[in-house]
Copies of this chain bind each other. A is one copy, B any other.
Amino acid sequence: MSAESQKRVVIVGGGLVGSMAACMFARKQHKVDLYEARGDMRKSNMSAGKSINLALSVRGREALRRIGLEEKLLSHGIPMRARMIHTVDGKLNEILYDPVHNQCIYSVSRKFLNEALITELEQYPNCNIHFHHKMTKLDVDTGDLTFSKQGHEALIEVKGNQQQLIIGADGAHSGVRKCLMSQPLFDFSQTYIEHGYMELCIPPSDDGNYQMEPNFLHIWPRGTFMMIALPNQDRSWTVTLFMPFENFAQLKTPDILLDFFNSTFPDAVPLIGADRLVADFFSRKASSLISIKCRPYHKNNKVLILGDAAHAMVPFYGQGMNAGFEDCCVLDDLMDELEEDFARVLPKFTEVRHEDAQMICDLAMYNYIEMRDLVTKSSFLWRKRLDSFLFSIFPNFWVPLYNAVTFSRFPYRVCVQHKEFQDKIISSIITGGCAVFGLILLYLIGLIILG
Contact = CB atoms under 8 A, between A and B. Distances in A.
Copies in the complex: 2
A188 B186 contact: no
Nearest to A194: B185
Interface of A: 181, 184-192, 288, 446, 450
17 contacts: A181-B190, A184-B192, A184-B288, A185-B192, A186-B190, A186-B192, A187-B190, A187-B192, A188-B188, A188-B189, A188-B190, A189-B189, A189-B190, A189-B191, A446-B446, A446-B450, A450-B450
Contacts of A187: 190-192
A308 to B, nearest CB: 16
A89 B96 CA distance: 66
Contacts of A288: 184-185
Nearest to A182: B173
Nearest to A173: B182
Q: Which 10 A-B pairs have the closest CB atoms?
A: A189-B189, A185-B192, A450-B450, A187-B191, A188-B190, A184-B288, A187-B192, A185-B288, A187-B190, A446-B446
A288 B185 CA distance: 7
Contacts of A185: 192, 288
Given A188-B189, A188-B190, A446-B450, 16 more contacts: A181-B190, A184-B192, A184-B288, A185-B192, A185-B288, A186-B190, A186-B192, A187-B190, A187-B191, A187-B192, A188-B188, A189-B189, A189-B190, A189-B191, A446-B446, A450-B450
A299 to B, nearest CB: 15
A309 to B, nearest CB: 16
Considering residues A181, A184, A185, A446, which has the most beta carbons from chain B within 10 angstroms of its beta carbon?
A: A185
A173 to B, nearest CB: 9
Contacts of A189: 188-191
Nearest to A190: B188
A106 to B, nearest CB: 32
A354 to B, nearest CB: 13
A181 B288 CA distance: 15
Contacts of A181: 190
A288 B187 CA distance: 12
A438 to B, nearest CB: 12
A184 B288 CA distance: 8
Nearest to A189: B189
Nearest to A191: B187
A76 to B, nearest CB: 34
A288 B288 CA distance: 33
A13 B191 CA distance: 27
Contacts of A446: 446, 450
Nearest to A185: B192
Contacts of A188: 188-190
A184 to B, nearest CB: 6
A312 to B, nearest CB: 13
